[in-house]
Structure 1
């Protein structure tokens, strides 16, 4: 039933519309038009005002006629840099970027699949209990769109976020909590050549702290990282200030708490040892989730995979997605693998088979709601 040529052409159209994070207006307007033409009731929320984007999240609704559950279908509109001026290339059975930009399969392959399924549902009069579509802004770097989504507009009881690597049949059922850790180390400036002993080198203090900190892979469920260090004014001035930005993630909340505490304590101890001060701010970026095999979205996704002869592969992830936000707001949601590869690089690609397979799989998920007891 999936029209492979149509979904390919639509994907090629989508990736050529610039929509880097915070600048999704053109993509939003295009998707609003497409959803309206398919027959959905379309609206835009105020999330853009909250996060500094030039548009809000796009919400589309297609009422159902059966008593089946209402499903949430979601993908994000934004891409990472370099994401402007994308020129997709068909290379045999793959679609690639030209090598100067990302391709944008993350997450426009997800958008293309959702649009194709909506068309098929309308064209074939496929029964469903109601479909709610959310195309979010600024997912990359903070899930800002889904965090600020107007959830009062949604009634879905199961969600599917098309935004993971892995082939169709990949079902992400567990994702981590994440903390952002920002610290400012304040020392004392002095002339580096005349009286360095009168200064307190904030960069040195920070380096001592980081050297004593557990970072990287902590265990199979926990990671941490120091990603940004900034400080100093000149080589002949003992630096009196340095800022550090890092993160900690874990699939287990207690482990995240322990890792974040360890990183903060290490910074404070190093500052105290050298007479400096450490101001630390911890921000929860998102909450984790874990869905078992009996949860509605997992049951539907597993049943659909079986119906299509796919292998249902339930997996964990170390990354966050809009599904973290949906689960925290009471909508159980899984993330589906859509075959995107080497994302966030200029070598990004996706196969033609997966572009069609994503729509085929999502359509079967919609159909699987009719077989629920």
Structure 2
């Protein structure tokens, strides 16, 4: 594909992503980066009426600064409306990041921060695509730009998006981590578990036998899950999944038998029924542990587990229109198109649940959520070229 702006295309795209990565914007505090994006679109000629925020933050109940940023461009050519999206927020480790470019790579200046390429690179791809078609007056079908909030804390922006404000898109494309030539056509589902263990407090030196240690209950349950293959990588016949207990809190003094422990866990699988089985095994392990942990009087601990779905698994055939369009765009941009299924969650999970099948493409980020995070500039620029192809619908019209 010939760059619409020639050599200037690359320079502008890199400048835009560097600017975006330098703006603080963790989950729930995306207002500054959303304003930056909206201001650039206004300067390119979009009226205020084309730019709005939905009520996703209010509906999520998290107290976020803003909802999803939704921008609609009327088409200059006939064709199905296309939605291009990326999430605005970064993980807390990115706060204070100063992006520095060295050759083909961008990293954070400080070794104490992540970079924020996840997902400011995706935001830059969508933004750059829109600015390119506006500034160069390139023919394009109707476009909706969706910049979601609070992706990093459970895909809350996509979960609570106001679908009626999206303009009924027919083809949906999401940009997030990974290589620019790989189209993600499926992802796992995830259930969140809040586990509360209650025991009985007693003096750990004077009368430990009167107490029921909530820590002991939790330890027994975790050992049970681990020994029986229900924690970590789970492989049971043809069924696979993962689980993890990632948070444990309880106790305050060594001379008191701890009577209260809180744990947070997750269960993932591409098969909803097997994910429910993992949750059931967690419940049974903790209930067994509570019954088995008693004091001298035969009193036992108690367990309460609440479960909420974070997102459901999805898998699209390669023949899905958004997938064939994405693969054609990758090929048009001069790369070898590939597909894959991932074990993480994406905004595309919720878009699919909302009835909007969405393919996800990468932007060249690596080492995300760590201080080793980098952005590979050639891969990012390749993603930007794919974005312009998608926005102008110049790929095969087989979709």
**TM-score normalised by structure 1 residue count:** 0.96
Per-residue deviation, 1:367: 4.0
Instruction: Supply the distance in 2 between the matched residues of 1:186 and 1:51 (Cα, whole angstroms).
Output: 28
- 1:153-207: CA deviation from partner (whole Å, max 9, x where unpaired): 0111221110122x21111111111100111111111111111111111100110
Is 1:159 aligned to residue 159 of structure 2? no
Per-residue deviation, 1:230: 0.7
SS of the aligned residue for 1:180 comes to strand
Alignment of 1:161-176 (within 5 A): 161-165=174-178, 167-176=179-188
Q: Is the contact between residue 195 and residue 262 of structure 2 (CA under 8 Å) also seen in structure 1?
A: yes
Per-residue deviation, 1:82: 2.1
SS of the aligned residue for 1:225 comes to strand
Per-residue deviation, 1:313: 1.5
Call closer, same or farther: CA 1:63–1:221 in 2, change over 3 Å: farther
Match of 2:66 in 1: 55
Match of 1:255 in 2: 274
Alignment of 1:287-302 (within 5 A): 287-302=312-327
Q: 1:113 aligns with which of 119, 125, 142?
A: 125
Is 1:95 aligned to residue 106 of structure 2? yes
Match of 1:37 in 2: 43
Match of 2:96 in 1: 85
Q: Is the contact between residue 69 and residue 369 of structure 1 (CA under 8 Å) also seen in structure 2?
A: no
Consecutive unaligned residues in structure 1, runs of 5 or more = none
Instruction: Supply the distance in 2 between the matched residues of 1:291 and 1:67 (Cα, whole angstroms).
Output: 26
Q: 1:237 aligns with which of 256, 276, 281?
A: 256
Instruction: Supply the distance in 2 between the matched residues of 1:292 and 1:253 (Cα, whole angstroms).
Output: 18
Q: Is the contact between residue 328 and residue 396 of structure 2 (CA under 8 Å) also seen in structure 1?
A: no
Match of 2:246 in 1: 227
Match of 1:26 in 2: 32
Match of 1:131 in 2: 143
Instruction: Supply the distance in 2 between the matched residues of 1:199 and 1:105 (Cα, whole angstroms).
Output: 50
Match of 1:69 in 2: 80
Q: 2:341 aligns with which of 316, 341, 355?
A: 316
Per-residue deviation, 1:252: 1.2
Q: 2:154 aligns with which of 121, 130, 142?
A: 142
- 1:207-238: CA deviation from partner (whole Å, max 9, x where unpaired): 00010112111138411000011111210111
Q: Is the contact between residue 64 and residue 130 of structure 1 (CA under 8 Å) also seen in structure 2?
A: yes
Q: Is the contact between residue 51 and residue 144 of structure 1 (CA under 8 Å) also seen in structure 2?
A: no
Per-residue deviation, 1:269: 1.4
| Bigger mean CA deviation after superposition, 51-60 or 125-134 | 125-134
Instruction: Supply the distance in 2 between the matched residues of 1:27 and 1:273 (Cα, whole angstroms).
Output: 52
Q: 1:218 aligns with which of 212, 218, 234?
A: 234
Per-residue deviation, 1:284: 0.5
Match of 2:296 in 1: none
- 1:324-352: CA deviation from partner (whole Å, max 9, x where unpaired): 11111011101111110101111211122
Per-residue deviation, 1:366: 3.3
Match of 2:15 in 1: 9
Q: Is the contact between residue 325 and residue 395 of structure 2 (CA under 8 Å) also seen in structure 1?
A: no
SS of the aligned residue for 2:94 comes to coil
Match of 2:217 in 1: 205
Aligned length: 372
Per-residue deviation, 1:369: 6.0
Instruction: Supply the distance in 2 between the matched residues of 1:254 and 1:312 (Cα, whole angstroms).
Output: 32
What is the Cα-based RMSD across aligned positions, in Å? 1.5
Q: Is the contact between residue 73 and residue 161 of structure 1 (CA under 8 Å) also seen in structure 2?
A: yes
**TM-score normalised by structure 2 residue count:** 0.90
Q: Is the contact between residue 172 and residue 314 of structure 1 (CA under 8 Å) also seen in structure 2?
A: yes
Per-residue deviation, 1:84: 2.1
Instruction: Supply the distance in 1 between the matched residues of 2:262 and 2:386 (Cα, whole angstroms).
Output: 46
Per-residue deviation, 1:279: 0.6
Per-residue deviation, 1:307: 2.3
Per-residue deviation, 1:48: 2.5
